[in-house]
Amino acid sequence: MAVPLFSLTPDLIVSRLCLGTMTFGEQNSLPQSFQLLDRAFHSGINFFDSAEMYPVPQRAETHGRSEEYLGRWIRTRKIPRHQVVLATKVSGPSGQMTWIRDGPASLDSWNITEAIDGSLTRLRSDYIDLYQIHWPDRYVPMFGEIEYDPTRSFSSVSIEEQLTALQKAIDAGKIRYVGLSNETPYGLMKFLHVAERISIRVRIVSLQNCYNLLCRNFDSGLAECCSHERVCLLAYSPLAMGILSGKYLSLDGGPAEARLNLFRGRYAEGESRYSLSHSTVKKATDLYVNIAKKYGIRPVSLAIAFVLRHPLVASVVFGATKIWQLQEALDGCKVDLIPEIVTEINRVHSAFPNPCP
Q: Are 40 and 19 in contact (CB under 8 A)?
A: yes
Percentage of the chain modeled with pLDDT above 90: 85
State yes or no: pLDDT of 1 exceeds 70: no
Residue-averaged pLDDT of the chain? 95
Confidence (pLDDT) at 94: 87
Is the pTM above the cut of 0.95?
yes
9-65 pLDDT, tens digit per residue, is 999 999 999 999 999 999 999 999 999 999 999 999 999 999 999 999 999 999 999
Highest averaged pLDDT of the listed ranges 137-146, 196-205, 274-283, 317-326: 317-326
- DSSP, collapsed to helix, strand or coil, labels residue 102 as coil
76-127 pLDDT, tens digit per residue, is 999 999 999 999 999 999 888 999 999 999 999 999 999 999 999 999 999 9
- Give the separation between CA 34 and CA 28, rounded to whole angstroms: 9
Among candidate residues 89, 111, 108, 88, the one with its CA nearest the CA of residue 100? 111
- Indicate the CATH number for domain 5-351: 3.20.20.100
Q: Report the range of poorest mean pLDDT among 1-15, 35-49, 162-176, 253-267.
A: 253-267
The yes-or-no answer on residue 131 being catalytic is no
Q: Are 232 and 312 in contact (CB under 8 A)?
A: yes
Helix (H) or strand (E) run with residue 66 in it: helix 65-76
- Of 54, 131, 267, 288, the active-site residue reads 54
- Give the separation between CA 130 and CA 85, rounded to whole angstroms: 8
Residue 144 pLDDT level (bands cut at 50, 70, 90): confident
> Within a 13 Å sphere around the CA of 64, how many CA atoms are in the beta-carbon half?
17
Cis check for the bond before 355: say yes or no (omega within 30 of 0).
Answer: no
State yes or no: pLDDT of 265 exceeds 80: no
Confidence (pLDDT) at 231: 98
More confident residue, 271 or 337: 337
More confident residue, 7 or 143: 7
